[in-house]
Structures are given as structure tokens and as C-alpha cells.
Structure 1
Amino acid sequence: MSAVVETRTSGTPPIASRRRVRLVAAAPSLWRVLEPGGRVIGHLQEIAQAGSVRFRARRYNPAAHAFRDLGDFWSADDAVECLVFGR
């Protein structure tokens, strides 16, 4: 069974955490989350599901050569906080 996931392009989501990180567009509904020094700490993906919008935090796992989903959140702030503080 697979879930139907739609993405949408609504511009960069506003986040209160901007003083600690920067979002850079990587694809429609996908942003790289960068530290102030420019190091990528993960991705933020906007997902439209069942009439609502969720934000997925994703971190690259070098050992697996793949991204690992850390979770889906109701706000971009919560997803970014997971990336920033979940290291």
C-alpha cells in the first residue's frame, strides 16, 4: 500500500527560525536547510495531504547514501526545529 502524496509550490514557507538557518529552494515544494555558515543540515519538504499541508523534515544519511525522513509536522517551524536540534 502506498500513500498518495501531492506537492504544491507556494513559495518559501515563513519560519521564525530564520536567524539560525536559511532556506534555499531545491525543487518545487523542497528547500535545503542551511546553517549560517552554509552547511546543509537537511531538507524541508512541503506536502499536501487530504486537504491540509504538512512539512517533512529529511536528513541525509551518508552511510546509507539516502535521505531519512525524521517526521511530518503541521508547521515549517517545527520541522526545521527537528533538523536544527535533532542532530
Structure 2
Amino acid sequence: MTHILEMAPPEPPRVSMTARVRLDRAASDLWRVIDGTGLVIGHLQAVPEIGGTRYRARRYHAAAHAFRDLGDFWNADDAVEALRLGR
């Protein structure tokens, strides 16, 4: 009999209250970033690294029908800020 070890999905990243966003899980390591008006401004993806977890800021580009990475950050607040500023 084979047993499959299920890993718990990572906890949602902590973002400061000043970011004024909500994170909704989209996949086991991916969260939608929703602003105060209810608009999805992008996604945060947890990327495990040897030194800890980095957060990849991703935004959907409609013309390309694909996501574009805005960068990897050592904390979720910096990734959210990149999404807010549209970098």
C-alpha cells in the first residue's frame, strides 16, 4: 500500500495594513492581490529558496494572453508595492 504525504499549503504572506489589499488563494502557492475597490491587481507566488521564501509579483497581460513577472522580492510588501505601482 502506498501512502502519499500531503503537504499543507503555505500560509498566506503577511502584508502590512497600509498596503490596503486582500489576498485570496488562487493555488497552493499563489494568491490574488485585490485592492480596496475589489480589482485584482496581480498575483503573488511563493517561491522557495535556500535562504527563505521569495515572493514573485505577477500581472496578467491581456494582449499577450500571459502573465508577466514583475520581479522576485524577499518580502510580500515589496511585491505588492511593485504591483500597485505597475513596475
Q: For the superposition of Structure 1 and Structure 2, which TM-score range results when normalised by the shorter chain?
A: 0.7 to 0.9
Aligned residue for 1:84, secondary structure, equals: helix
Larger radius of gyration: 2
Confirm or deny: 8 A CA contact 1:17 1:80 kept in the other structure: no
2:15 aligned with 1:15: yes
Runs of 5+ consecutive residues of structure 2 not aligned to the other structure: 1-7
Cα 1:72–1:19, aligned 2, differ >3 Å: closer, same or farther?
Answer: closer
Provide the aligned C-alpha RMSD in A.
1.8
Confirm or deny: 8 A CA contact 1:17 1:81 kept in the other structure: no
Count of aligned pairs: 80
CA distance in 2, matches of 1:18, 1:44: 17
Runs of 5+ consecutive residues of structure 1 not aligned to the other structure: 1-7
Q: Percent identity?
A: 57
Cα 1:17–1:85, aligned 2, differ >3 Å: closer, same or farther?
Answer: farther
Aligned to 2:50: 50
Aligned to 2:31: 31
Aligned residue for 2:79, secondary structure, equals: helix
CA distance in 1, matches of 2:81, 2:66: 21
What's the TM-score, normalizing by structure 1? 0.82
Runs of 4+ deviating beyond 2 Å: none
Confirm or deny: 8 A CA contact 2:19 2:80 kept in the other structure: no
